[in-house]
Amino acid sequence: MFLPLRDENASGRFPFVNVLLILANLAVFVYQLTLTPRVEKAFVLANAMIPAHIPSALAGHGSLESALLPLFTSMFLHAGFAHILGNMLFLWIFGDNVEARFGHLGYLLFYFVCGIGAGLTHILFNLNSHLPAVGASGAISGVLGAYILLFPRAHVLVFMPGVGMMRVAAGVVLGLWFVMQLLSGGMSIGGPGEGVAFFAHIGGFVAGMALIGWFKRPDVPFFSPAGNGRWDREQWRR
């Protein structure tokens, strides 16, 4: 198990959208903290993604709109401090560089498309589940999927228990993270699960990799010329 702390990969642009997404997630979480347990439960259930609501709505039991809207609203809900802090740490580390490549508006659209794709993947593998799924991790997984292709050689500082700090290539860090999601997702099939939407992570990551060509700004290269993952616009103009 490892914990990424930062990447050594200057984006060269201020990540307005990434910062706004982090602030929005934190604001909703703070709002959750102000609610009484009963009201918070009602708020979460109304906005969380519940897979079984989709086939139920398609069968005519309930509104399809109210069943699908949580694909969006659930991205801003979190189940506790560890949940939101872990998600926001990953978004802070890896989101700025992807935003620089996609542009502000493109990155915002990319983030939500990946989040919805992640949610649909989770639903596909849990059609009969009534457990509410919340969190930004599906959308953030899409950011990780884009990052691993755009900056595979960027250095990431990680902490490993028993080892300490290490500088590891992003391709290795994120590749291992994805393998862990695949293994955990496979083991969760047919079982009660651990309350972690592994297939949302998998779906978001794959969506992020697949959508790069649709969202990357045309004036920047696909791969960075620098071994550490930085890109230099002037270098590519010469």
pLDDT in tens, the chain (238 residues): 779 999 999 888 899 999 999 999 999 999 999 999 999 999 999 999 999 998 888 887 777 888 889 999 999 999 999 999 999 999 999 999 999 999 999 999 999 999 999 999 999 998 888 999 999 999 999 999 999 999 999 999 999 888 889 999 999 999 999 999 999 888 777 554 445 788 999 999 999 999 998 887 666 655 554 444 444 443 333 3
Residues whose CB falls within 8 Å of the CB of residue 224, separated by 6 or more in sequence, listed in order? 150, 151, 153, 154, 230, 231
Q: Which pLDDT belongs to residue 221?
A: 56
* Residue 172: Cβ-neighbour burial (10 angstroms; 0-12, 13-18, 19+): middle
Where are the domains positioned within the chain? 3-237
Two structure tokens written together for 85: 């802090």
Please give the pLDDT value at position 62.
Answer: 76
* Fold classified for 3-237: Rhomboid-like fold (1.20.1540)
Cα distances (Å, whole numbers) of residue 75 to 25, 59, 127: 8, 26, 19
Pairing outcome for strands 3-8 and 155-160: antiparallel
Nearest to 78 by CA among 67, 90, 68, 66: 90
Q: What is the pTM of this model?
A: 0.88
